[in-house]
Structure 1
Amino acid sequence: MPPKRTRMSASQRREQLIAVARALFADRGFEGTSIEEIAHRATVSKPVVYEHFGGKQGLYAVIVDRELTMISSTITEALRSSSSPSVIVERAALALLTYIENSPDGFRLLLAGSDRAAGTYSTLLSDVAIQVSGILAAQFRAHGLEASTAPLYAQMLVGIVAMPAQWWLEDRSMSKEAVAAHMVNLAWNGLRGLQPDPALRHPPALS
């Protein structure tokens, strides 16, 4: 016996289709997910999916865009009142890890990326790096450091947060608070000892 259909409003049906497809895309990827499977899971006919999203690509793009907007606004809000590099890393790390905790399927979609959707994890990281760069530049000027290097250091800080976050998605042996604290430990203990004109300690020998 086929699953019994549930009558929903157009907006409710749209949200249901997004929820069903989001889980399938995260588990099977874009290519491994079919409109037939989405429709079956949602107990609707295929034309209903096409009616709401125009097809699989349109549905995928809507989901990725929604996830990117959610995580971007979360991190931006966390950075808005930051006043020091240690606070920047701590708040950004906790914001990202909390998003992963609440939306692991969404994060997997962003990590996978796709030519079919504009939003990806790399897009997010680039936007965050720009925000962090502006905060660092002001801090560098205040401490007599070269502000033009702020974009480089911003990329470093974003990397300290971005890669461990991907690891934590699959390995929850540590709490998000502990992971964030270790990120801050590495970043802050490095930033507070910055030299104004660093040089390699062991430069390669000239041939």
Structure 2
Amino acid sequence: MVKMKITAEERNAQIVRVAMKLFSQKGFKGTTTREIAQKAGISEATIFKHFAKKDALYSAIIDKQCNDRKGESLLMKKLEGKEGKEVFKEIATFLIQTHQEDPTFLKLLMFSALEGHKLSDIFIRTRGMETLDYLAKHISKLISQGSFKKVNAPIAARAFLGMIIHYSMLQEIYGLKRFFKVPVKKVVDIFVDIFFEGMEARHA
């Protein structure tokens, strides 16, 4: 039977999928390009043909997780037209659902940070800071409107994102989801209410 020749785009996607799976299982130091090639059923040369440097592979992994086919941020697209509390709900829902549906990328970021690899650094400098800056600007806007207390907006943004990321880590990496099963919408509503309870300005 003749094998169908796959396109360069399809081969790229295959290499990224296999690399993500192996990296999330064995870490970056414990995974070689030879292993990736064997699992993908290709040669190491083919990997280097598609990704000449490891940074290119790391960037492709981030693109797969965070971007649409046009290279635009999936989260930023969802935030278009959102205001007030809906911004917080959209961010929290997107992150929790994404981690719940496939925790692989969350594990990759953990491995990368612990092992001193570049993937987490690349992610933080790109999509991570993009989300943090967007949320900080939104919080600043709510402060200027008198809706929120006068606080350091970037720190407040980190506090909110910290709640969400920590929840996902406990659920998906530490395995708390075996004992704690609550619908995503309810979790999001509670987190957003807690944050707003502490942030909303109290007018006499």
Whether these two folds match at TM > 0.5 is yes
CA deviation map 1:116-153 (0-9, x unaligned): 34423575443222111222222222227665733332
Residue in structure 2 matched with residue 32 of structure 1 by the alignment: 30
Distance 1:56 1:34, change over 3 A: farther
Residue in structure 2 matched with residue 179 of structure 1 by the alignment: 187
Cα distance in 2 for residues equivalent to 1:8 and 1:179: 42
Cα distance in 1 for residues equivalent to 2:141 and 2:7: 50
Query: Structure 1: which amino acid aligns with 2:65?
Result: E
Check if 1:120 corresponds to 2:123.
yes
For residue 60 of structure 1, report the CA deviation from its aligned partner. 3.4
For residue 167 of structure 1, report the CA deviation from its aligned partner. 1.9
Cα distance in 1 for residues equivalent to 2:16 and 2:137: 36
Contact 2:18 2:40 in 1 (8 A): yes
Distance 1:77 1:7, change over 3 A: closer
Residue in structure 2 matched with residue 42 of structure 1 by the alignment: 40
Cα distance in 1 for residues equivalent to 2:148 and 2:196: 16
RMSD: 3.1
Give ranges in structure 1 of 5+ residues lacking alignment.
197-207
Cα distance in 1 for residues equivalent to 2:196 and 2:150: 18
For residue 24 of structure 1, report the CA deviation from its aligned partner. 0.6
Contact 2:28 2:111 in 1 (8 A): no
Structure with larger Rg: 1
For residue 164 of structure 1, report the CA deviation from its aligned partner. 1.5
* Further displaced range: 73-82 or 37-46: 73-82
Q: Give 1:1-207 correspondences, 5 Å limit.
A: 7-54=5-52, 56=54, 58-69=56-67, 73-84=73-84, 86-113=85-112, 114-117=116-119, 118-121=121-124, 124-143=127-146, 149-170=152-173, 171-172=176-177, 173-174=180-181, 175-192=183-200, 194=201
Contact 1:53 1:59 in 2 (8 A): yes
Residue in structure 2 matched with residue 203 of structure 1 by the alignment: none
Query: Structure 1: which amino acid aligns with 2:155?
Result: L
Contact 1:25 1:33 in 2 (8 A): yes
Query: Structure 1: which amino acid aligns with 2:111?
Result: A
Distance 1:116 1:138, change over 3 A: closer
Contact 2:66 2:74 in 1 (8 A): no
Query: Structure 2: which amino acid aligns with 1:60?
Result: Y
- Number of residues paired by the alignment? 191
Report sequence identity in percent: 20
Contact 1:93 1:180 in 2 (8 A): yes
Cα distance in 2 for residues equivalent to 1:75 and 1:104: 17
Contact 1:64 1:109 in 2 (8 A): no
Contact 2:139 2:157 in 1 (8 A): yes
Query: Structure 1: which amino acid aligns with 2:106?
Result: F
For residue 27 of structure 1, report the CA deviation from its aligned partner. 1.1
